Amino acid sequence: MSVNSKYQSPLTSRYASEEMAYNFSNDKRFSTWRKLWLNLAQAEKQLGLPDITDAMLEEMRENLTNIDYELVAEEEKRRRHDVMAHVHAFGVVCPQAAPIIHLGATSCFVTDNADLIILRDGLDILCRKLAVVVDSLTRFAVQYKDLPTLGFTHFQPAQLTTVGKRAALWVQELVWDLRNLVRCREDLRFRGVKGTTGTQASFMALFNNDFEKVDQLDQLVTQLSGFDKAYAVTGQTYLRKVDADILNPLASFGATAHKIATDIRLLANLKEIEEPFEKNQIGSSAMAYKRNPMRCERICSLARHLMTLATNALNTASVQWLERTLDDSANRRISLPEAFLTADIVMSVMQNVFDGLVVYPKVIARRIHQELPFMATENVIMAMVKKGGDRQVCHEHIRVLSHQSAHQVKAEGGENDLLDRIRNEPYFAPIHAELDQLVEPSTFIGAAPVQVVRFVENEVKPALEPFAEAIQAKQSVQLQV
């Protein structure tokens, strides 16, 4: 049967980075199992078990990636047990070491510890990628910190902000997501050497009830596997709440990504900001003029999937009976890789979008011109009062002219001509010379530019500092259609 005759996940066949796809591959998983068996044997030898020799360890070390998948499949079909199939296959290529492979361990020694290694490495990948995304969007925010734009509340015209200040709101959520992932990574521990129900009974038997040696074994294997600490207590598995603590911040990032991509889609409709659009890209097979925001639509589509996966981890954690039950396994095989692969893809698309965002200042200025005269009426009234005018009389003049202009916009489909009406009204002659200054957009943006600068200096730069090397090594993202 050919590859194309079988279902393939689009996460790996179409979208995900090679780095993340490899992290959840069979090669990574099962070579990690073998490395764990080597670490266990090495630690057991170091602590005095006499049946383990240097030759056995070297044999295991030389065959970490020499995996006969056909043999594994045959053994698993016969034994109905994936771990024991791999124990057998490892023993075939390591005949000297075969008697001591998996010595004292339960299946979860390799399955759970390998999962934790893969999750750790996945978090490292995501933290680096998200830092690059934050850096890219931050540069955009700083570049446009002074450009006035119409703000929206309820997607209705509100006071002005700046393009950069709006982007800073997006950056802030991403910085929080980075913080959450870093915390998650720092909290992650190793399951360690805990035995079948977490009591270390088999290892106590191996070491003649010498708990100090068993504890040392736990610490040694933990360190050999690249962790500083192991969980102090476990059942047969590490507690599945750990999975929830990982998938929840990933889902939260999904919500951030969806919100940002949706904002850009709305702005694209307004023709103020657009995602990159390649020279030969086709927006529609029928409507040649279209420039669909397909990248941001992809972000939203995948982010929705990412957000739903957190409930899998919560539901699984809630039904783990006593020391463990196996109804977690099939679910986790799907939900954990998919969460990381999906987050990885979303970050890649976001970087591609942020690196190529296109801003149309003239369209933005035109929209400001359509709305700002109404917002500036209070400034006009105050200017008239300073010239000796009566506020109530001025207010009535402005009210009448505003309604006339609103009718012109809404009923006639014309432009906002309130400023022209004010210029043609003799009552406002004392401030005609000041009128352009009174409606200068830059005077309506408050402290937005300063807020962006301070936010970047005080919040963003410290958050990105640990990832300076990853940001420096940044490469452009080329998306598959």
**Which residue numbers are catalytic?**
154, 284
CA distance 24 to 436: 61
The single-letter code of the amino acid at 117 is: I
Q: Tell me the backbone φ, ψ of residue 286, rounded to 5 degrees.
A: -110, -35
Reading the block at residue 404, the tokens are 């006339």
The single-letter code of the amino acid at 469 is: E
Q: Are 31 and 60 in contact (CB under 8 A)?
A: no
Residue 188 has a CB neighbour count (10 Å cut-off) of 19
Residue 310's nearest CA partner among 236, 235, 256, 241 is 241
Q: Are 235 and 198 in contact (CB under 8 A)?
A: yes
Q: How far is CA 95 from CA 86, 159, 310, in A?
A: 14, 76, 43
Q: Are 175 and 463 in contact (CB under 8 A)?
A: yes
Instruction: Classify 159 as helix, strand or coil.
Output: strand
Buried residues in 136-151 as b, exposed as e (16+ CB within 10 A): bbbebbbebbebbbbb
Cβ-based neighbours of 369, under 8 Å, separated by 6 or more: 416
Residue 479's nearest CA partner among 290, 272, 284, 296 is 296
Q: Are 163 and 147 in contact (CB under 8 A)?
A: yes
Reading the block at residue 182, the tokens are 């870093």
- Output Rg (C-alpha) for the chain, integer angstroms: 31
CA distance 362 to 280: 25
